[in-house]
Structure 1
């Protein structure tokens, strides 16, 4: 619509309409870009809050006043949303209606149904729950645990290079009183955390850190049931594949504690590098784990914190220049010597004939007569400005000499010909 937006009268009208309504929940959703006429929005929304009316806001558009829309939701004890996609507005309104009415809370006894191929629940039988939050799974999510109504209870998915896990029930006695007393609860949560850490399916947990000289590798090896593995051979190398013939030199990591293998590898210089860890048990290869680590620059080449250069300059007794203006500014107290620039701008070119310079004819030792440099009328008439008045001929003489039109030899050329 054309023209501006005046949000204050709309909020007052919504307050007037809902103030006398006999409803258990009174909620207002403000959909706008926030570009509105000035008004006392904090006082208006405060009056709505005093009458038990909550306010949420949806800021739409790239140029929306997000600060104002966020403040409206904060004053009204609601939620704030930001979107640039018109098609997401119905989803936001649906989610906001569920949140406002609390229809997403399901508090009833529910027996979970486990997926048959779930690695997190293999060999486990989860006990019933007394409540959960009703949600919808993401398109790329993997459901490990659902309710009889097929609502997700445990879901996982890949997010970029990381992993995410969602459990929609509780881990406290309100909803999970039977889970708290479940003997396999610790085993279940250990599997869930290890999967989120990215160690599920890997032979060991690998942690790496680096300084400017060494890369430190720590490997914790556990069996699927959580027991420590103390009978492994762990090798680490920087880059490369252990199966290739051109792999870098491997370093055998000693066992420093039950199930823990660690050691330091010499760094090859600053930059991003990959650490390849091979885990074996005798002749059996259990797997390979790769981790990336950034090797920093030496301390003397790293960016200094703010103020370090200033302290160095102050200790040397000099002044620090902070910008181009200070660099080009004249030094205080130095004498100024201005010079005119116009003589340099009007200097004649090398080919321009000066009026007081005698024109010379250069004669070369031998060879045929050269063609004229230009066939223009100016060059044939001798009135050109760039070397058009000079003629060059060849003679069978061992030395060349230059004569002016007056017949005299140039002193510089005469001394050269001797």
Structure 2
């Protein structure tokens, strides 16, 4: 129990209590002390009530009520028997629901529907809601359930599913659950046993040339070993058939087809297993479009790297475009304009990460081609180790037999100036730099050596040179030197110190790695010239800028002059990896410069019609290592590939380890068969031929299909400002409208709800601003069968993760659903209106305390009570008494006025404070005395008047007294005197 406020800023007005109490005390001295204190207390409570009402006061009280929402998966991956088990679990749980608790039910597949709102009903009726069952979207179901909870109850979700999420991101929804204190319990719906076979993927080029041999790869998954038959169909006609022995697990079946008719063709793979519980996933179909000449994109940082290969490809009737590294598209949609990409001696650091990812997808998923040409900036020396581009190549950047290569001596300079004490991720930059230097030791062979020079304004505590055989001690010693010093780093002096060390070493490979703050590099003058002098002595230099500051350009120039690499590290946590990467590139002999003749390897169509008897001599190559399943066409040495090829997903890639710019290949580019060799290397990677002006690509984004159209004219100029619309037509001729919106120059994009499994044609037309038709394009797309039918759709690990992250449970017992084991929830009850009423009542009470005389009221009330207890004369009695008194006075006027005699103990009338006695009137002259008659018996004589006694009090006029009590008292006294 507690109290909170909606607008607590109003509580500052409570400071008004001080002046209110002070002023009330100063101005209330005429009141009795008790009345003053009571008034001040009432005023204080009145002010507190008003301020509490303005601040929105609420009483916080704990709530024991629990609301449970059942999420029931009814997608196609859940069989009818599994649904019966779900219903039984819910029914059993509802029977145990305590009083005052409530439960709701939501059913979901691709969408989510509310079956029952929160209620206290303890029985389960037949579930009537039918969501779309083609996909499983846990995120949408969970988000809907979170919105359904009442605000002031404990909240629990019970998810009944197999975990086979194929749309949305359920883990993202847990962020909302955490914010709202919602716990998610899960009930795993186990997969039903039985033999299951599915074609999970069918890969082939989407476009090709007429008469080209097309490779088809069908991935088949089976949960048990059995015999099967596979059929290849072209346009629903049987093309080939084969028997298979399916193993338990995955199998890739490869076949080829040759198509000679231009246009769209459907190629299908169909599996017929011996045993299978589902037939919906036994076939997959791809669409291929046969059309015209290919386009090739050559990427070269130095124009000399493209000046020989570009004319050779153009002579082979290929459309060639040459761009620099910045011209390489970063999106798949832009890359789709080309059938192949040639990377001609370009370092990895100049290729954007987005471009590398797009190139990988370009080859693997779109069936396009990729060629990498060698040189001093390519392959391993170019930094492609562990990159997406290395993954798609048929060679690895690592080298075999490193022990046979010459010794290496490396010097690592790392900045320990004050700026390196900055904390990143809970760790100092200088610590990360020292760890990076220590990791270099891992690459050293026993006869290699390392020197570490911590530096600020001078060398501090140099370590080494030390041999790689001392790596255990060396690593701890280097890390211990990761302590900040002061001032800035003097780059020139640090390079002099490192150069002096390496000049005295006999290692053929000598390299400096400089780590410096991108904003704190001093002594820049002559540093570039110094590294150039080192390079001429065989000492290379790489730089790593920590943070994107004003000195990054200078550090880059140092690396260029030193013949090394430059890295910009904006996230200091990645610093150790960057240091390791540069050392790996520098310490290994990735370039071999020697004269040699190529050695023939495996047969390949690349070598067709080439006279290999008169191969020209080459002068160098990039050291690499062949990958498993790659085809080595030519060798530079007994274990060093020269020309390698392989199939990567739907596409193909080729690696040529020498160059084609005339340095190592100066004899090659003069060879009369060079043009044929270059054309056949690139031509082997061309399974796709795209339209010259219009290209259409489709992809699936969650439950939607995205269509991207790239429109260009014959001069490769984007066609902008077009109205692009059309229809999506299925095999049955059913159409749905489609409109694309221009998102960038010449690129139009649109989305539609993903249609069901099958083959679809996109009929698109473009009109200019005048309404004239600019193009008419037809593209094809195959929508795969629902992912609900994939083998291994269940994902119990996802369910366990959901429960763990939401602090929920994995339930197997329905009786535990309604356990009150959650954290208490509080309810806020507003009391601002009640406080306002209380303030009004306190105001009235305060007025009464200050204005009314409670003492006089008490006396009046006591008199009323006495009169009610003892009968009192009425006004008539008082009038009669008054008249009797007047009569008696009239009877005595003729007699001598006797002295006033006050009976003993008789009450005497005391005039009020405002009473003024009347002025005494002169006595009238005495009348002549008449002899009185003598009585037979004498009467007692009256006492003589006292001359010193004043006249008797004058009779009071009752009508002049306004106070009722005073008037009553005066009448009673006068009656007694008479």
TM-score by length of 1: 0.42
**Structure whose alpha-carbon radius of gyration is higher:** 2
Does 1 or 2 have the higher relative contact order (CA < 8 Å, sep 6+)?
Answer: 2
